[in-house]
């Protein structure tokens, strides 16, 4: 009896918010429950919609959703802490999105033209979590009818693109924003890695590319190409480096105001843009034994929550290994599992983020596509599961998109 008596106040406390929520939901349609807390609600008579928190009962107004309800089959939210978020809704062929405070929803129609990544001002996007493909087309993006374009680097929603042999530009495919960079002082993609420090239109943006000679008998030259926002030309440096450090084919990481470069064995080099100098660190010591040539493994370096993470991926169905740098001891510690994170790797980039769904935790997504049915177009995502140490689906008989790169959407202009 005492236990029952103590539990009754809890029931009374719960009944009030339940009644309040019920009153707020009457005459409205729930389109989705986002992040397990936020309801995405629609007033069908007026097309007005809002987010409603199940825990705090907070209501955040959104612009009217004028597209037919029957066309809205999938919804998502970019952050679990509205109003600092973007709300998405799609039926597979059409995607709309908005932020709290916007006056209207923005649309991204699917104008599929059979291309893969970039042609005629078009980016083709693939979402590996829901396994859907979208096409972004904008007249402000640079068409590529007359020359090949290579995707080099992505950060802050921006993609760095090499156009032909002498020109480079950065584009945000989600906003259509673009920045033309100056003519580069070398022909083509001769660098081993490239990166920018902040969004390309930021006043403090720095673009840095690094390349080291591959001749074993004269492995003593490092070439660095740097552009600061506002510069009228690129600065090209030739630096003597008599160490055995060999740059891996992977992009640089801008970390604590310096560009970190991964070596083929797991050691690190740093370029310091404030004084234009280069050093090879004594620590951490190499992860891999021997001295593999660049290209024997995909070697990636990434930053996540102020941690440097190294990823070593073989060219076959062998295991993928992850390491976290202990900055206090300057040693690599192997990562056995990812609790709430997911990793995306391609030929140049590596990105780690909080898993948007529980089902994709502990995975490393690859730039490959599989087929659900033999003979059909490849549409299923491919990933390596750290728990089972296996590839899904099988590593073989996959389609690989060579000129592709992972990018985290950013719908804010800058």
**pLDDT tens, position by position, 206-252:** 999 998 876 656 567 889 999 999 999 999 999 888 888 888 888 99
- Report the largest interatomic distance among the alpha carbons of the chain, rounded to a whole angstrom: 87
Q: Residue 138 has which token pair? A: 């904008």
- In degrees and rounded to multiples of 5, residue 212 shows phi and psi of -120, 140
Closest-CA residue to 61 (of 72, 53, 50, 69): 50
CB 181 within 8 A of CB 169: yes
pLDDT at 4: 36
**The predicted structure's pLDDT at residue 273:** 95
Please state, as a whole number, how many other Cβ atoms lie within 10 Å of the Cβ of residue 364.
Answer: 21
Q: How far apart are CA 65 and CA 106, in angstroms?
A: 10
Return the pLDDT at 79. Answer: 64
What contacts 48, CB < 8 A, 6 or more positions away? 42, 61, 64
What 60-69 contacts at long range (C-beta under 8 Å, 24+ apart), as own/partner pairs, is 60/100, 61/100, 62/87, 62/98, 62/100, 62/102, 63/98, 63/102, 63/103, 63/104, 63/105, 64/104, 65/89, 65/96, 65/105, 66/105, 67/94, 67/96, 67/105, 69/29, 69/31, 69/42, 69/44
CA atoms of 264 and 295, how far apart (whole Å): 8
Model pLDDT, residue 15: 33
| Residue corresponding to tokens 């020359």 | 147
Predicted local confidence at residue 145, as pLDDT: 59
Which residues, other chains included, contact 162 with Cβ-Cβ below 8 Å and sequence gap of 6+?
149, 150, 152, 168, 188, 189
Query: 362 by DSSP, 3-state: which?
Result: coil
Domains belonging to the chain, first-starting first, are 28-109 (2.40.10), 118-400 (2.120.10)
Note the pLDDT of residue 150: 84
**Nearest to 392, CA basis, from 380, 382, 401:** 382
Nearest Cα to Cα of residue 49 among 80, 72, 22: 72
- Note the pLDDT of residue 119: 44
264-278 tens-digit pLDDT = 888 999 999 999 999
> pLDDT of the chain along its 414 residues, tens only?
433 333 222 222 333 344 444 555 666 777 777 666 788 888 877 888 888 887 778 888 888 877 655 555 567 776 666 777 778 776 555 667 777 887 777 765 444 332 234 445 567 778 888 787 777 665 555 655 556 778 899 999 899 988 877 888 998 887 778 899 998 887 566 788 999 999 999 999 999 999 887 665 656 788 999 999 999 999 999 988 888 888 888 899 999 999 999 988 889 999 999 999 999 999 998 888 766 555 567 889 999 999 999 999 888 888 999 999 999 999 999 999 988 899 999 888 899 998 888 888 899 998 887 765 555 566 688 899 999 999 988 887 777 777 888 888 877 655
């Amino acid at each position: 009896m005492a236990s029952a008596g103590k539990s009754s106040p809890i029931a009374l406390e719960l009944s009030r918010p339940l009644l309040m929520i019920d009153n707020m939901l009457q005459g409205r349609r729930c389109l989705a429950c986002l992040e397990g807390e936020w309801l995405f609600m629609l007033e069908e008579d007026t097309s007005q919609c809002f987010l409603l928190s199940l825990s705090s009962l907070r209501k955040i107004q959104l612009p009217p959703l004028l597209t037919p309800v029957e066309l809205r089959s999938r919804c998502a939210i970019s952050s679990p802490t509205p109003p600092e978020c973007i709300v998405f809704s799609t039926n597979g062929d059409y995607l709309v999105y908005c932020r709290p405070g916007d006056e209207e929803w923005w649309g991204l129609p699917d104008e599929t033209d059979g291309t893969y990544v970039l042609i005629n001002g078009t980016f083709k996007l693939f979402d590996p979590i829901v396994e859907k493909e979208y096409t972004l087309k904008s007249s402000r993006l640079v068409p590529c009818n007359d020359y090949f374009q290579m995707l080099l680097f992505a950060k802050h929603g921006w993609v760095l693109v090499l156009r032909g042999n002498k020109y480079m530009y950065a584009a945000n495919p989600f906003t259509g924003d673009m920045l033309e960079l100056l003519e580069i002082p070398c022909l083509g993609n001769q660098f081993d890695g490239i990166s920018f420090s902040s969004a390309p239109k930021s006043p403090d943006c720095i673009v840095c590319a690094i390349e080291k000679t591959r001749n074993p008998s004269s492995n003593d030259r490092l070439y660095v190409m740097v552009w600061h926002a506002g510069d009228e030309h690129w600065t090209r440096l030739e630096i003597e480096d008599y160490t055995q450090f060999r740059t891996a084919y992977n992009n640089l990481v801008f970390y604590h105001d310096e560009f970190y470069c991964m070596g083929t064995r797991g050691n690190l080099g740093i370029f310091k843009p404030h004084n234009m100098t280069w050093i090879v660190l004594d620590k951490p010591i190499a992860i891999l034994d021997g001295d593999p040539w660049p290209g024997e493994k995909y070697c990636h370096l990434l930053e996540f929550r102020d941690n440097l993470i190294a990823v070593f991926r073989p060219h076959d169905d062998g295991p993928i290994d992850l390491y976290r740098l202990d900055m206090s001891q300057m040693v690599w510690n192997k990562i056995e599992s990812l609790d709430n994170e997911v990793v995306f790797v391609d030929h140049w980039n590596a990105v780690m983020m909080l898993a948007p769904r529980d089902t994709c935790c502990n995975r490393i997504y690859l730039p490959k596509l599989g087929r659900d049915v033999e003979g059909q177009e490849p549409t299923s995502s491919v990933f390596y599961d750290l728990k089972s140490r296996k590839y899904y689906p099988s590593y073989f008989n996959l389609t690989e998109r060579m000129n592709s790169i992972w990018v985290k959407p950013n719908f804010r202009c800058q």
